[in-house]
Amino acid sequence: MKENAPIECVAVIGLGLIGGSVAWGLRQSGLTKRVAAFDRNPLALEYGLSHGFITHKAGSALEAAQDADIVVLAIPPSSLAPT
């Protein structure tokens, strides 16, 4: 984590292959201080925390996005409208 990162917080909704890769890339590049994430699978969130590619696990998509500067929706297209 870089203290002088240009983006304060990014929310990633969905930590599958795409969302997990985006979160990992953001953390590795130092572009953001925090990555908050939500996924329906609690194991995906625990994995993200334990491997350091997310900094906060959220209980809902709304909670993850609440203080985010950017929100990444990495969910199936059929879930976009309800989310």
Identify whether the C-beta of residue 53 lies closer than 8 Å to the C-beta of residue 35. yes
On average, the pLDDT of the chain sits at 93
Identify whether the C-beta of residue 28 lies closer than 8 Å to the C-beta of residue 22. no
Identify whether the C-beta of residue 67 lies closer than 8 Å to the C-beta of residue 33. no
Please tell me whether residue 50 adopts helix, strand or coil conformation: helix
Distance CA 6, CA 26 (A): 11
- Per-residue pLDDT of 5-29, as tens digits, reads 899 999 999 999 999 999 999 999 9
> How much is the pTM?
0.90
